[in-house]
Structure 1
Amino acid sequence: MDILIIDDSTFSQRILGNLIAKNLDDVNTYFAKDGEEGLEKYKEIKPDYTFVDLLMPKLNGEQLIKLINEYDPNAKLIVVSADVQKSIKEEVNSYGVMAFINKPITEEKAKYICEMIRNDKDEG
């Protein structure tokens, strides 16, 4: 399973990547440091699941989600962000993301995400 984590914080990338690898088997994890790089890597890798931060330079998460959805309407996107404003959360959820997870990522949140991915794979 290929997972792409798009976040301008290397620390957040590492934490999320480690927690996912710990809770899911057979995972290849890729990283991008901003929205532009994230879109390029998405098109190159075509990951099974993509984690997107909202607050990033060059192309923010909201813009990135719209572009990924245009490119691949079946994209499986999970937002991981410290931006928890209700209006932002509602708008992003309207784009059909699988989940909106508040930072910081904890072991409990990672287990929830991984369980959601396992259930999604079982249904697919």
Structure 2
Amino acid sequence: MTKVLIVDDSVFSQKIAANLIKKYMGDVELSFANDGEEGIELYEKLKPDFVITDLLMPKLSGQELIRRIKAHDKFAEIIVVSADVQKNIREEVEAYNILSFLNKPLQDEKAQLICNLMREKIHG
């Protein structure tokens, strides 16, 4: 079973992401963190196959979350879904070799893209 950690300070965004991923991915185990600090803790505890994260969060930003996860596991598969589309931020985040960077809101088409990316990584 594919394990996915969703890190977003918006419970509404978490629910949308969860519903769409279940819809297109099927058999998936979802976990949720409400900020970057909780995201780090859960990443280390659960060892998820994929992390879907927002960038703008309290306590620890998505950029810092990505930096720390990648320092711990350079092969971590991270997908960013964020309303923060500043060019310099996007370039900084993409330099960490993330799987994808998508703009919020997350809708069917973007969720299908995420699920296809995850399937490609799982099945080679």
Q: Aligning the two structures, in what range does the TM-score lie when normalised by the shorter sequence?
A: over 0.9
For 2:13, the equivalent position in structure 1 comes to: 12
Matches of 1:57 and 1:33 in 2, distance apart? 9
Task: Determine what percentage of the aligned residue pairs are the same residue.
Answer: 52
Is 2:99 the counterpart of 1:88?
Answer: no
Give TM-score scaled by structure 2 length.
0.97
Matches of 1:77 and 1:119 in 2, distance apart? 14
SS in 2 for 1:55: coil
Runs of 4+ in 1 over 3 A off after TM superposition: none
- Alignment size in residue pairs: 123
For 1:61, the equivalent position in structure 2 comes to: 62
* CA deviation vs aligned residue, 1:78-109 (integer Å, no higher than 9, x gap): 00100011111111000110000100001010
Stretches of structure 1 lacking an aligned partner (at least 5 in a row): none
For 2:72, the equivalent position in structure 1 comes to: 71
Aligned partner of 1:67: which letter? Answer: R
Matches of 2:116 and 2:3 in 1, distance apart? 16
Stretches of structure 2 lacking an aligned partner (at least 5 in a row): none
SS in 2 for 1:43: helix
Q: CA deviation at 1:116?
A: 1.1
Aligned partner of 1:43: which letter? Answer: E
